[in-house]
């Protein structure tokens, strides 16, 4: 039931009975522009001509926002060659595949429209080899998808409520089909397997080339019976309190698994890769944690053949929701988003008039962010620090995505940890209003994602610094902007993956240029490149009625950290067309940053994706 907390990042929904193309404003002249250094005080562009004003009107903003998540029923099983619409694929671009996960179906044929986070997983693959590139896309054949889509492929009928949605044309009251594993959040290629992950269930495995669904992959079962590889850690509460929580957990488990079909342990959608040790790191939590004032986290580390190397379990005395996380050589790092049970929301959810996620609410009672530094190894645990007591970061921040984390000696016998990440305000984050979802009118309202109040509420890039002394005790913790030159909303921080878990200089993120008056903050229309060493920022933007998804860095083989390319999907809502954009990472901020644009056939235009993965051949 954990939401994809990328709060400003994933998208919007459009009901199939309404065609927003009838309401579109005339398209703007298309161009790309680069900005060498970007400052937060830059003025928002104001339309001057009649055509520009129409394209930047409240009506155009509303339909552009909803067009970004328009259902795509067609699959592309046989790869089609992509036309190079601009530039050329560079000769040093490596052979490989860019996989992009995300939802594809939001509206059925019986009046129901679901939240983007409950949309069925639709995997896109851009394959590079030789002198060209090809595209294919298929739905992930989950159990829920097979139930809600007839075998002939002509009709859809949603029967699962999903954690974030309310059905209009299906059963509401008494409908216990809540956990709708749609495998739509992230994608991973590891150990010869291609996996699509979701926040509340097991991954689904697909064929790396044909994208055919092979079935569920019991990755947590690989860690069963690990013997000495497993370690369990719990902080003891007062006996009566701990006993009461244990009793509640035992009562909840059969209800959640037997009635609501929730897995006993749910895998988080975000994973990490340790390039130094060539390991895949994943984390799972218990289903009942969502309703109890404690949190169970189990960390798994797999080698290149998916053999379990290590499993460590921690029980924390805090009611937390984790979407993304980090690791260093010595620690697993959790930035805790504090939540609480919402009793009135729970009652409304049970009536079927509100999404099930309404049972939870953020807990802003403490004006700080808990950072749990959990020992990754027995050696790290031997330091004596009580890992169950978090480091309290000074501002209250809802953690969203982590770009990188690393640690090193501080010159005084201690250790310094750094995290480059994105976060937003508790005052802005709202579970069942995420992306402006409105189950009453079957549309998404862009106003929620573009709140007119302070920008500090919205997702932003920050650096968290933690100083530990010789014994592991916290000597200081600070949170500051990653760049003083970039203060506009941004999310999806990415780095050169070769620099994961060690000091990096550059961070790339999706960002808002502010060029549209009525969509100033989201959807993102730019990629910002932040130089952490001096705080400078450079920007590439897609002008006009175009928006972009998550950036992914593809190394080109050179020694310099920014020697490579940034891939991202561009959505031209004015043309109802998608492009895969290739940027030269070194030239972001210059006019010739675009290396190539590859055009997806118009009939295969896809909705905005969530997270992607680059797999070298």
383 pLDDT tier (thresholds 50, 70, 90): low
Report CA 539 to chain centroid distance, whole Å.
22
290 pLDDT tier (thresholds 50, 70, 90): low
Q: Is residue 22 pLDDT above 50, yes or no?
A: no
For the purposes of burial, counting CB atoms within 10 Å of the CB of 96, is it exposed (0-12), middle (13-18) or buried (19 or more)?
Answer: middle
The Cα angle at residue 390 between residues 385 and 394, in degrees rounded to 5: 125
Mean pLDDT, residues 279-299 taken together: 83
- Look at residue 370 and give its three-state secondary structure: strand
**pLDDT for position 426:** 92
319 annotated ligand-binding residue: no
What distance in Å separates the CA atoms of residue 126 and residue 137, rounded to the nearest whole number? 9
**pLDDT for position 51:** 62
What distance in Å separates the CA atoms of residue 298 and residue 313, rounded to the nearest whole number? 4
Task: Give the pLDDT confidence of 520-532 residue by residue, as tens digits.
Answer: 999 999 999 999 9
**pLDDT for position 346:** 82
**pLDDT for position 149:** 94
CA distances for 197 relative to 167, 206, 261, 266, angstroms: 24, 11, 18, 11
Task: Give the pLDDT confidence of 175-225 residue by residue, as tens digits.
Answer: 777 788 999 999 999 999 999 999 888 999 999 999 999 999 999 887 554
Q: Is residue 254 pLDDT above 60, yes or no?
A: no
What distance in Å separates the CA atoms of residue 177 and residue 172, rounded to the nearest whole number? 10
Task: Give the pLDDT confidence of 315-360 residue by residue, as tens digits.
Answer: 998 889 999 999 999 999 999 999 998 888 888 887 778 888 888 8
Task: Give the pLDDT confidence of 221-241 residue by residue, as tens digits.
Answer: 875 544 444 455 554 444 445
**pLDDT for position 49:** 57
φ, ψ of residue 23 in degrees (nearest 5):
-110, 5
C-beta separation of 571 from 578 below 8 A: yes
The Cα angle at residue 594 between residues 590 and 596, in degrees rounded to 5: 165
Q: Is residue 46 pLDDT above 50, yes or no?
A: no
27 pLDDT tier (thresholds 50, 70, 90): very low
C-beta separation of 344 from 354 below 8 A: no
Q: Which two tokens stand for residue 296?
A: 């169970």
Mean pLDDT, residues 501-507 taken together: 96
Task: Give the pLDDT confidence of 543-592 residue by residue, as tens digits.
Answer: 889 999 999 999 998 889 999 999 999 999 988 999 999 999 999 999 99
Mean pLDDT, residues 252-274 taken together: 70
φ, ψ of residue 110 in degrees (nearest 5):
-135, 20
What distance in Å separates the CA atoms of residue 205 and residue 142, rounded to the nearest whole number? 10
Task: Give the pLDDT confidence of 67-85 residue by residue, as tens digits.
Answer: 998 999 999 999 999 999 9
**pLDDT for position 151:** 65
**pLDDT for position 262:** 62
Q: Is residue 260 pLDDT above 90, yes or no?
A: no
Of residues 460 and 34, the one with the higher pLDDT is 460
611 annotated ligand-binding residue: yes
232 annotated ligand-binding residue: yes
Residue 401 is given by DSSP the state: E
**pLDDT for position 17:** 35
| Closest C-alpha to 265, from 318, 326, 213, 222 | 222
3-state helix, strand and coil shares in percent for the chain, rounded to the nearest 5: 15, 35, 45
Mean pLDDT, residues 426-453 taken together: 84
Percent of the chain with pLDDT over 70: 81
The verdict on pTM exceeding 0.85 is yes
**pLDDT for position 56:** 81
31 pLDDT tier (thresholds 50, 70, 90): very low
For the purposes of burial, counting CB atoms within 10 Å of the CB of 351, is it exposed (0-12), middle (13-18) or buried (19 or more)?
Answer: exposed
| Closest C-alpha to 315, from 328, 297, 340 | 297
Task: Give the pLDDT confidence of 82-113 residue by residue, as tens digits.
Answer: 999 999 999 999 999 999 999 999 999 998 99
What distance in Å separates the CA atoms of residue 408 and residue 416, rounded to the nearest whole number? 6
C-beta separation of 385 from 411 below 8 A: no
Q: Is residue 457 pLDDT above 70, yes or no?
A: yes
**Average pLDDT in the chain:** 84
Of residues 537 and 69, the one with the higher pLDDT is 537
For the purposes of burial, counting CB atoms within 10 Å of the CB of 222, is it exposed (0-12), middle (13-18) or buried (19 or more)?
Answer: middle
Let me know how long the chain is. 617
**pLDDT for position 240:** 42
**pLDDT for position 382:** 67
């Amino acid at each position: 039931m954990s939401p994809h907390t990328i709060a400003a990042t994933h998208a919007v929904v459009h009901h199939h009975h309404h065609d927003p193309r009838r309401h579109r404003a005339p398209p703007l002249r298309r161009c790309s522009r680069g900005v060498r250094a970007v400052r937060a005080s830059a003025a928002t562009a104001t339309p001057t001509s009649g055509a520009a004003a129409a394209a930047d009107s409240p009506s155009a903003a509303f339909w552009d926002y909803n067009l970004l998540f328009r259902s795509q029923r067609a699959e592309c099983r046989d790869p089609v060659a992509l036309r190079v619409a601009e530039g050329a694929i560079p000769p040093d671009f490596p052979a490989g595949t860019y996989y992009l996960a995300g939802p594809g179906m939001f509206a059925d044929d019986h009046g129901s429209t679901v939240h983007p986070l409950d949309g069925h997983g639709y995997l896109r693959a851009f394959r590079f080899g030789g002198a060209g590139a090809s595209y294919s896309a298929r739905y992930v054949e989950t159990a829920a998808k097979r139930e809600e889509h007839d075998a002939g492929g002509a009709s859809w009928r949603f029967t699962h409520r999903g954690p974030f949605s309310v059905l209009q044309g299906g059963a509401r009251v008494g409908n216990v089909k809540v956990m709708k594993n749609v495998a739509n959040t992230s994608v991973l290629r590891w150990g010869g397997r291609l996996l699509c992950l979701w926040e509340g269930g097991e991954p689904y495995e697909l064929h790396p080339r044909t994208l055919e669904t092979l079935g569920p992959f019991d990755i947590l079962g690989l860690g069963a019976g690990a013997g000495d590889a497993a370690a369990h850690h719990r902080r003891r509460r007062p006996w009566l309190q701990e006993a009461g929580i244990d009793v509640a957990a035992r009562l909840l488990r059969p209800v959640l698994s037997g009635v609501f079909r929730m897995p006993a342990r749910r895998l988080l959608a975000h994973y990490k890769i340790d390039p130094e040790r060539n390991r895949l790191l994943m984390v799972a939590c218990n289903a009942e944690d969502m309703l109890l004032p404690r949190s169970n986290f189990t960390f798994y580390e797999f080698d290149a053949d998916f053999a379990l190397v290590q499993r460590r379990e921690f029980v924390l005395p805090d009611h937390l929701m984790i979407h993304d996380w980090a690791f260093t050589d010595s620690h697993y790092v959790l930035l805790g988003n504090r939540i609480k049970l919402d009793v009135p929301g729970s009652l409304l959810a049970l009536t079927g008039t509100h999404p099930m996620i309404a049972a939870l609410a953020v807990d802003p009672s403490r004006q700080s962010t808990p950072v749990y530094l959990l020992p990754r190894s027995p050696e790290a645990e031997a330091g004596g620090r009580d890992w169950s007591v978090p480091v309290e970061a000074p501002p209250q921040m809802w953690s969203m995505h982590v770009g990188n984390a690393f640690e090193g000696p501080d010159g005084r016998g201690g250790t310094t940890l750094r995290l480059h990440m994105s976060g937003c305000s508790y005052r802005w984050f709202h579970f069942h209003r995420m992306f402006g979802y409105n189950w009453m009118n079957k549309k998404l309202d862009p106003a929620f994602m573009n709140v007119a109040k302070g920008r500090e509420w919205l997702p932003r890039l920050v650096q968290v610094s933690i100083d530990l002394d010789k014994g592991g005790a916290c000597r200081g913790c600070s949170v500051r902007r990653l760049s003083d030159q970039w203060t506009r909303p941004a999310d999806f921080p990415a780095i050169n993956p070769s620099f994961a878990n060690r000091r990096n200089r550059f961070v790339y993120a999706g960002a808002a240029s502010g060029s549209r008056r009525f969509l100033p903050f989201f959807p993102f229309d730019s990629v910002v490149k932040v130089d952490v060493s001096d705080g400078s920022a450079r920007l590439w933007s897609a002008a006009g009625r175009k928006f972009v998804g998550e950036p992914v860095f593809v190394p080109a083989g050179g020694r310099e950290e920014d020697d490579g390319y940034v891939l991202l999907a561009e959505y031209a809502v004015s043309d109802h067309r998608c492009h895969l954009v290739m940027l030269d990472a070194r030239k972001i901020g210059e006019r010739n940053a675009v290396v190539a644009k590859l055009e997806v056939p118009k009939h295969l235009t896809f909705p905005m994706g969530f997270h992607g993965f680059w797999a070298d051949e």
